[in-house]
Amino acid sequence: MPTPNTQIGNLSASAGGGISINASNGTVNDGVSNRGSVYGVRYIKDNSTSTLQNIDSESLKNWFAEYVGLIGNFNKPIDDNTNISWGAYNNSGLLGVKLIAKNETPVKYSSNNNASLTVTPICGDVTGTSIYKVDNNVINAGGSHTFGSLNGGGSGQNPQTFTFSITNVSNGVTFSLRFTPGYDSGGAYITGTSTSGNAGNIYPFDWTDDDNHIVNSLPSYFFLGRPGNRPYGSSYN
């Protein structure tokens, strides 16, 4: 599974030579070269981008309106097809997150309350110095925050389900997800919200060993808004 580049996501006309359809080297999925590439941002959600070299400006705008939208600071709606310019994309883009879960360790007649969720914000700006917040916890680019000491639902208890938010401090873009931890070899999962994924949809975590969920899960990836043709969760490709 590829790891999305933390420096790609937020489009800014003042960085890396401005905004254009492609990266400076003509590719759509190259990391650092994609600094001002509209295709580079779209490629995060849409793996068909490499075949869209001749896409018209209206279709590209409509894709951003649907899959980035107001949540991602893209303010040109689908029904507005006048004066489409690269300036419409300035300060818009995607924000994402990599998630790793760990289930609660089983114990008889008691609870360890040691399930966890590690949250790593991704999709920042070209400088690699983006500042994020996970809830109210400030995170530098490349850093993570771990929600620990969680009740995974052992001893007949309900698991400690909670909603958390991810914010790019530089532009105020934010979205939220809901996490339910697991117990022993049980399932842990993310629930989609109105700002990420399909609202109410369950996205289960996967592990290398289906019989051992008290170690780190495989990574799951989520981004603001609805999925494009790349699935959210552990099957993100």
Residue 26, pLDDT score: 42
Please indicate, yes or no, if residue 175 is contained in any of the structural domains.
yes
Please indicate, yes or no, if residue 89 is contained in any of the structural domains.
no
Going by pLDDT thresholds of 50, 70 and 90, the confidence category of residue 123 is: confident
Rounded CA gap, 232 and 235, in Å?
Answer: 7
Rounded CA gap, 25 and 135, in Å?
Answer: 37
Please indicate, yes or no, if residue 141 is contained in any of the structural domains.
yes
Q: 183-235 pLDDT, tens per residue?
A: 999 999 999 999 999 999 999 999 999 888 989 999 999 999 999 999 999 99
Residue span of the structural domain in which 195 resides: 96-223
Cβ partners under 8 Å of residue 156, min gap 6: none
Q: Once rounded to an integer, what is the mean pLDDT over residues 75-99?
A: 87
Please indicate, yes or no, if residue 164 is contained in any of the structural domains.
yes
Residue 42, pLDDT score: 84
Lowest mean pLDDT across 9-18, 86-95, 137-146, 157-166: 9-18
State how many domains the chain has: 1
Q: 11-62 pLDDT, tens per residue?
A: 877 665 567 776 544 444 444 445 567 887 888 888 775 555 556 788 888 9
Q: Which sign does the torsion angle of CA 66, 67, 72, 73 carry? A: negative
Please indicate, yes or no, if residue 162 is contained in any of the structural domains.
yes
Please indicate, yes or no, if residue 5 is contained in any of the structural domains.
no
Please indicate, yes or no, if residue 112 is contained in any of the structural domains.
yes
SS (HEC) of the chain: CCCCCCCCCECCCCCCCCCECCCCCCCCCCCHHHCCEHHHHHHHHCCCHHHCCCCCHHHHHHHHHHHCCHHHCCCCCCCCCCCCCHHHHCCCECCEEEEEEECECCCCCCCCCCEEEEEEEECCCCCCCCEEEECCEEEECCCCEEEEEECCCCCCCCCCCEEEEEEECCCCCEEEEEEECCECCCCCEEECCCCECCCCCEEECCCCCCCCCCCCCCCEEEECECCCCCCCECCCC
What is this structure's pTM? 0.90
Please indicate, yes or no, if residue 231 is contained in any of the structural domains.
no
> To the nearest whole number, what is the mean pLDDT of the chain?
85
Sheet with 174-180, strands from edge to edge, namely 137-140, 131-134, 162-168, 174-180, 189-191, 202-204
Residue 28, pLDDT score: 47
